[in-house]
């Protein structure tokens, strides 16, 4: 699931062409585009999502609010899942008998502000098409083999709704504080292609 696909290259060329047209017509400068992208990505990393998970693991009331309305709950930590336009964040919880995995089958919708820039495999056509048809096989390629009795649910992000997985808290972490718990959380666990 790694590497750049033909589709990714095509999208990159289209984006570059659009930037060039905007620059050539004097609508925007290359520097302004770079500034906007940098401003958007400032603070955007999986550390935000990890903080949310650590709080949910240690605060049952926050966890309940997060699962009921992720969009509002993350603002309590000064975070946002939104991008350029308003987006709804839905947090789905892994349990002993359910494992969740996130995809965007149409493009690459993803909660950048909470998870940082999306990995190239997330945007690949192979991941986007296969994870909905054969999620267990795709998860196994990531090294995650789930028992047959664990149901796998695939959530398809859209331009309006982004998903984030609330992973199961690892055993033996009862004595850890929030920063130590957050350090255990990986971007792939927040997408659902890994467990902790």
- Residues classed as catalytic: 104, 107-109
Centroid of chain to Cα 59: 22
Measured CA to CA, the distance from residue 105 to residue 44 in angstroms comes to: 23
Measured CA to CA, the distance from residue 46 to residue 79 in angstroms comes to: 12
Centroid of chain to Cα 57: 18
Q: Measuring CA to CA, which residue among 54, 66, 37, 18 is closest to residue 169? A: 54
Q: How many residues does the chain have?
A: 196
Find out whether 190 and 165 touch, Cβ atoms under 8 Å.
Answer: yes
User: How many angstroms separate the Cα of 94 from the Cα of each of 4, 7, 27, 44, 117?
Assistant: 29, 31, 46, 24, 23
Measured CA to CA, the distance from residue 69 to residue 53 in angstroms comes to: 14
């Amino acid at each position: 699931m790694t590497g750049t696909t033909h589709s990714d290259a095509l999208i990159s060329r289209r984006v570059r062409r659009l930037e060039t047209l905007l620059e050539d017509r004097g609508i925007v400068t290359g520097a302004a585009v770079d500034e906007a992208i940098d401003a958007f990505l400032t603070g955007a990393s999986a550390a935000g999502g990890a903080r949310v998970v650590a709080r949910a693991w240690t605060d049952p009331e926050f966890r309940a609010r997060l699962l009921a309305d992720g969009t509002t709950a993350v603002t309590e930590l000064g975070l946002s899942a939104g991008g350029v336009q308003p987006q709804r964040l839905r947090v789905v919880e892994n349990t002993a008998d359910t494992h969740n995995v996130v995809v965007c089958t149409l493009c690459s919708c993803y909660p950048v502000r909470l998870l940082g820039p999306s990995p190239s495999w997330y945007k690949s056509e192979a991941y986007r098409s296969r994870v909905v048809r054969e999620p267990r096989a795709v998860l196994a390629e990531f090294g995650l083999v789930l028992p047959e009795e664990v149901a796998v649910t695939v959530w398809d992000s859209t331009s309006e709704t982004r998903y984030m997985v609330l992973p199961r808290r690892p055993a033996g972490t009862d004595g850890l504080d929030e920063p130590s718990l957050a350090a255990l959380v990986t971007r792939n666990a927040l997408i659902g292609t890994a467990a902790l």
